[in-house]
Amino acid sequence: MSLFGKDSPPKASPKNGDGPHLQHLHPRAAMPGGEIQLLGHDLGPREFQQPAVAVGDTPARVALCRPDRLVVRVASGSVSGDVRVFYGEHTTNSLPLRVAVPMAEDMHPVSNPVADSQGNVFVAFSGERGQPVPTSVFRIDPDFHVHPHVSGILNATGLALDAEENLYVSSRQEGTVYRVTPAGVKSVYAEGMGVATGLAFDQLGNLYCGDRSGTIFKIATDRQIFVFATLEASVAAFHLCMASNGTLFVTAPTTTSYDNVYAVDPEGTVRVYYTGLGRPQGMAVAGNKDLLVAASLHGSRGIVRITPRGEASLAIAGPGIVGLTCLPQENIVLATSDALYHLRG
């Protein structure tokens, strides 16, 4: 079962009278607090009582119960396993669900984490506006041990890694981009970036920085700075993600619930890539070229998959996700406003 593959269509319903039966689960991955849908038949209440649902051995709360559909909220402490519905002594067939597990708590990211070639994950601790914090960026090793990595960056926001695995960190308070060596030594890389938020590198080593007031800057390898593209201002941040073909994807949340994902070509021409997401934030490009966006789709929050053909669907259910990064073998790290979660591929 691939997270990046399309969901299989529901199978034909068994004949009535065969008892409650699950046909389809959507999405096929979730984090604690995420809501999934179970589709089937004869799933409604029996003898004036709702059915019970479990993910593996952990009970899940039923938020909606209809004969053809259940909406279920995944409980804290759940792990990947089979979803079953219980009607007294009767149990339905099972469907597999992948559940993300906590890997670091008491964080405060506001955009994507990033991962190096050794499997270390870096996450910014942004803090409240203008508030210094003891550690600006943490490193989480492959065993989920958390280590302070760099301090002294006020309101650390966007992160990016270059080809030598130096870490770049934007400060939205200072309008500065810092470079941090793998040993944790920081220096100023670029200044005057406005309300500096999202960062992304292209294949040539140029760094792009979003100024949420409406500008995307291009910082060349010789540190010359250019205005690369302009968009409408964002109430939160510009989140950037670079595709291998040089397309820069941008989200810029507004006060509406029907926002765009933008695509900017290497010449700086902006076009709308997809319309209809609620508060889109961090992004990543999956191995199959699908764009994964932390956003709401049709009222459901989580990670939205957008195919190159413009087809959107909820891939991972979960509340409060602000960013993500893809790891090898379809593993994913999800960042909420206070924690990181690991979803196994």
Whether residue 150 contacts residue 166, with contact meaning beta carbons closer than 8 Å, is answered with no
**Total number of domains in the chain:** 2
Whether residue 333 contacts residue 284, with contact meaning beta carbons closer than 8 Å, is answered with no
Per-residue pLDDT of the chain (345 residues; tens, 9 = 90+): 566 555 544 443 444 556 899 999 999 999 999 999 999 999 998 877 889 999 999 999 999 999 999 999 999 999 999 999 999 888 999 999 999 999 999 999 999 999 999 999 999 999 999 999 999 999 999 999 999 999 999 999 999 999 999 999 999 999 999 999 999 999 999 999 999 999 999 999 999 999 999 999 999 999 999 999 999 888 888 999 999 999 999 999 888 889 999 999 999 999 999 999 999 999 999 988 999 999 999 999 999 999 999 999 999 999 999 999 999 999 999 999 999 999 998
Residue found by looking up tokens 């997401």 in the block: 277
Taking the CA atoms of the chain, what radius of gyration do you get in angstroms? 21
Cα(243)–Cα(317) distance, rounded to whole angstroms?
24
Mark whether 77 and 188 lie in a shared domain.
no
Dihedral Cα 204, 205, 206, 210, nearest 10 deg: 120
Expressed in percent and rounded to 5, the helix, strand and coil fractions of the chain are: 0, 50, 50
Instruction: Give the structural domain span for 81.
Output: 21-99
CATH number of the domain at 91, please.
Answer: 2.60.40.10
Cα(5)–Cα(203) distance, rounded to whole angstroms?
26
Mark whether 299 and 177 lie in a shared domain.
yes
Mark whether 40 and 128 lie in a shared domain.
no
Burial 254-278 (b: 16+ CB within 10 A, else e): eeeeebbbbbbeeeeebeebbebbb
Whether residue 146 contacts residue 134, with contact meaning beta carbons closer than 8 Å, is answered with no
Cα(266)–Cα(276) distance, rounded to whole angstroms?
25
Enumerate the β-bridge partners of residue 250.
240, 262
Residue found by looking up tokens 């602000």 in the block: 322
Nearest CA-CA partner of 136 in 171, 181, 87, 104 = 171
Mark whether 62 and 145 lie in a shared domain.
no
DSSP assignment letter at 8: P
Mark whether 186 and 314 lie in a shared domain.
yes
- 32 located within any domain: yes
Cα(272)–Cα(326) distance, rounded to whole angstroms?
24
Residue 48 phi, psi dihedral angles, 5° rounding: 65, 20
Structure tokens at 74: 């995944």
Residue 328 phi, psi dihedral angles, 5° rounding: -60, 155
Mark whether 87 and 107 lie in a shared domain.
no
Whether residue 95 contacts residue 83, with contact meaning beta carbons closer than 8 Å, is answered with yes
Mark whether 114 and 249 lie in a shared domain.
yes
Mark whether 87 and 119 lie in a shared domain.
no
- 16 located within any domain: no
Residue 157 Cα to chain centre, angstroms: 15
Mark whether 113 and 260 lie in a shared domain.
yes
- 13 located within any domain: no
Mark whether 121 and 174 lie in a shared domain.
yes
Query: Residue 290 burial by CB count (10 A; 0-12/13-18/19+): exposed, middle or buried?
Result: buried
The enclosing H or E element of 266 equals none
Where is the domain boundary, 55, 84, 99? 99
Cα(258)–Cα(322) distance, rounded to whole angstroms?
17
Where is the domain boundary, 80, 99, 118? 99
Nearest CA-CA partner of 51 in 24, 82, 9, 90 = 90
Structure tokens at 301: 């929050």
- 9 located within any domain: no
- 4 located within any domain: no
Distances (CA, A) of 314 to 14, 149, 166, 167: 26, 34, 33, 31
pTM for the predicted model, two decimal places = 0.93
Mark whether 95 and 138 lie in a shared domain.
no
Mark whether 161 and 297 lie in a shared domain.
yes
CATH number of the domain at 226, please.
Answer: 2.120.10.30
Where is the domain boundary, 77, 99, 121? 99
The pLDDT of residue 236 is 82
- 326 located within any domain: yes
Dihedral Cα 171, 327, 272, 7, nearest 10 deg: -140
